[in-house]
Amino acid sequence: MQENALAVQDGQEVVVHMQDIGFSYTENRLFNHLDLEIRRGNIYGLLGKNGAGKTTLLKILSGQLFIEEGETKVLGENPQKRSPSLLSEIFYLPEEFPLPKMKASEYLAMRSPFYPRFDHGMFAQYCREFDIDLNQRLDQMSLGQKKKVLLSFGLASNTALLILDEPTNGLDIPSKKQFRQTVASAMTEQRTFIISTHQVRDMENLIDPIIILHDGKVIFNDTVESVNEKYVLTLTTEQPKADEVMYTEKVLGGWMVLSERTDDSEGKPLDLETLFNVIIEQSKGSAGGVR
């Protein structure tokens, strides 16, 4: 693909730029003045409550839904134009999908020519790792097996942008570990992955930065590390007063409290689930939130 010159922020190319986006399915507005920037070479996690609009956002990025207001640029192009060169640089794995009545090997032969840098050796390796029989018919596979075929296909496609919507849904316990290892091994500086998920425990130590979609906007787009540099979680046995702490949560043995990190702070870093709850909680009242 002849990529247009992309803007560079902090040494990383901006592969997705969304500005002032407005979108509705019905008279109710889903996105209102939504802004988003995604930089090359990262595995982003897209988090949000049910109905926040994660799938919708991913469909806009992959040229399947059209916005009413604002501007979207993906790899420098407007995805609504659906140019073949741009579409061959995006692989989108939906949460649910119908697959044709054919063997996985036939599907490979049919779809792989669409992706100019498709790596057949990698595809075979990923399928071996996921224990997939390429001679089995796709429509006779379980949900998890189908996901593994498409995931292997997407990773081997070598597209600049790989979008995975709830990829671990349907995967058994050993496959989730395999998923993390395979995704991490397929990542390169030239690629960008966006993974939408509710299964944050499956994604711990894989996705970073984190994007949180809430109330029609992106309310957080930053690394977990940047939050942990500023804040710390500590366990206390006395119930803290709600108005004296930024965030608290009842846990076994006491209360988890989020406070600003000082030089002598001792505590544990935020896990993704707590980070999500903190950001949503902060968005309710405070100006600014945790940033």
Ligand X SMILES: Nc1ncnc2c1ncn2[C@@H]1O[C@H](COP(=O)(O)OP(=O)(O)OP(=O)(O)O)[C@@H](O)[C@H]1O
Which letter, b or e, does each residue of 121-146 get, where b requires 16 or more Cβ atoms within 10 Å of its Cβ? ebbebbbebbebebeeebeebeeebb
Evaluate whether 23 touches 42 at the Cβ level (below 8 Å). no
Given the DSSP bridges, would you call strands 8-9 and 217-222 parallel, antiparallel or unpaired?
Answer: unpaired
Judged by beta carbon, residue 30 or residue 206, the one nearer ligand X is 30
> Among candidates 67, 200, 56, 12, which has minimal Cα distance to 210?
200
Which residues 6+ apart lie within 8 Å of 62 measured at CB? Answer: 74, 79, 90, 92, 163
Give the residues lining the site for ligand X (CB under 6 A).
25-26, 30, 48, 50-56
Place of tokens 């930089």: 39
H or E segment at 120? helix 120-129
Rounded to whole angstroms, the Cα distance separating 175 from 209 reads 23
Evaluate whether 176 touches 151 at the Cβ level (below 8 Å). no
Judged by beta carbon, residue 57 or residue 258, the one nearer ligand X is 57
Q: In the bound complex, what is the minimum distance in angstroms from residue 24's beta carbon to ligand X?
A: 9
Rounded to whole angstroms, the Cα distance separating 282 from 145 reads 39
Q: In the bound complex, what is the minimum distance in angstroms from residue 55's beta carbon to ligand X?
A: 3
Which residues 6+ apart lie within 8 Å of 190 measured at CB? Answer: 40, 41, 160
74 strand-pairing partners? 16, 77
Identify the sign of the CA torsion 217, 222, 228, 229.
Answer: negative
